[in-house]
Copies of this chain bind each other. A is one copy, B any other.
Amino acid sequence: MAQSNPPFMSGVPELLLLRLLNEQEMYGYELVRSIRKVTDEAISLGEGVIYPVLHSLERNGSLKSKRKAVSGRTRVYYKLTRKGRDRLEKLRNDWSRIQGGVASALESGANA
Contacts and interface: CB of A to CB of B under 8 A. Distances in A.
A100 B12 CA distance: 13
A15 interface: yes
Interface of A: 8-10, 12, 15-16, 19-20, 23, 35, 38-43, 92, 95, 97-102, 104-106, 108-110
Chain copies in the assembly?
2
Contacts of A110: 23
A40 B101 contact: yes
Contact of A102 (B8, B10, B12, B100): B12
| Listed residue (A20, A39, A110) with the most chain B CB atoms within 10 angstroms of its CB | A39
Given A23-B109, A99-B99, A104 B40 contact: yes
